[in-house]
Amino acid sequence: MKCEQMALCEIVCLLHKIADNTLGTIQTALAAAACVLAWFIPKRIISEQTYSSLMSDYRSYGFGVAVQGIVEFFAVDCASKVENIKEAYERRFVRDIYGLNLNGKFSLEEVREKLKRRNPSEIREKSPDLCLHYQRRLLAQFYYQLDLCARSPFIGKRRVRRDFTSRESDIARLLYLMGRAVDESGVLFKDVSCDERVPRDARGLNGYLADMHYLLKASKPYMVV
């Protein structure tokens, strides 16, 4: 009789251990699932908000003006020829930024000399929205953000292809060619580096600027996606 009771007790203890182990496994699995959801849900929400914001920008008046601006630049100023982009961009840049109408090839020194001789009454302020350089940068930033969404597992390439047309590839190509023209132009690209060191113990707003300086100094010359 005692043997039977001991065997029964051992069986009960074994069942308790199995139940405890099973419960512990379930609790661990639930905790892991909760951690995954705690990471997944906010990321999904942020991705959706970012994409929704991009779609809103895409439908905005300012975006349409910017697209029309670079389309007309290529079709009219460049006569739809890629080889004309650099020279045409330089002319538009000095016209939009400096208010100078220059034809043919020119150097940055010539631009500065004309600015010195220019009568202040000739200066005409222009809305930034109509400045080609601003339009290019605005659209380039949009497509950069759109590319991040396409690479995201929450949005993906298939959804981007569904919401945008192949026409956008032409705009992206124009932006690429215009960006390359900036890098290759002595008028558009200006070296603003210097040997002056930024102190690491700067305070106030300068402290934030110093921190950002050292952060970006360690990055690459071009944005890495």
Inform me whether the pLDDT recorded for 89 exceeds 90. yes
Burial environment of residue 188 by CB neighbours within 10 A (0 to 12, 13 to 18, 19 or more): buried
Instruction: Quickly state the pLDDT bin for 173 (edges 50, 70, 90).
Output: very high
168 in the same domain as 87: yes
Inform me whether the pLDDT recorded for 149 exceeds 80. yes
105 in the same domain as 64: yes
Whole-angstrom Cα distance, residue 178 to residue 90?
10
54 lies in some domain: no
169 in the same domain as 112: yes
Mean pLDDT over 19-42 rounds to 66
| Range with the poorest average pLDDT among 31-35, 63-67, 198-202, 206-210 | 31-35
155 in the same domain as 111: yes
Percent pLDDT > 90 in the chain is: 42
Q: Residue 70 to residues 59, 60, 98, 189: CA-CA distances in angstroms?
A: 17, 16, 19, 19
Instruction: Quickly state the pLDDT bin for 32 (edges 50, 70, 90).
Output: low
Q: Which domain holds residue 156?
A: 60-192
198 lies in some domain: no
219 lies in some domain: no
Instruction: Quickly state the pLDDT bin for 222 (edges 50, 70, 90).
Output: confident
97 in the same domain as 39: no
Inform me whether the pLDDT recorded for 172 exceeds 70. yes
CB 97 within 8 A of CB 124: no
225 by DSSP, 3-state: which?
Answer: coil
Inform me whether the pLDDT recorded for 190 exceeds 90. no
212 lies in some domain: no
21 in the same domain as 69: no
163 in the same domain as 65: yes
197 lies in some domain: no
Whole-angstrom Cα distance, residue 93 to residue 102?
10
Q: Following DSSP, what letter does each residue of 142-169 receive, concatenated?
A: HHHHHHHHHHSTTTHHHHHHHHS-THHH
Mean pLDDT over 29-51 rounds to 74
pLDDT of residue 31: 66
Instruction: Quickly state the pLDDT bin for 111 (edges 50, 70, 90).
Output: confident
| Range with the poorest average pLDDT among 29-33, 40-44, 72-76, 201-205 | 29-33
pLDDT of residue 107: 79
pLDDT of residue 142: 94
Whole-angstrom Cα distance, residue 8 to residue 2?
10
Give the pair of three-digit tokens for residue 163: 């919401």
Instruction: Quickly state the pLDDT bin for 6 (edges 50, 70, 90).
Output: low
185 in the same domain as 101: yes
155 in the same domain as 120: yes
157 lies in some domain: yes
pLDDT of residue 162: 92
Q: Which residue has the higher pLDDT, 39 or 85?
A: 85
Inform me whether the pLDDT recorded for 50 exceeds 60. yes
Q: Is the pTM of this model over 0.85?
A: no
66 in the same domain as 44: no
65 in the same domain as 174: yes
Count the domains in the chain.
Answer: 2
pLDDT of residue 96: 87
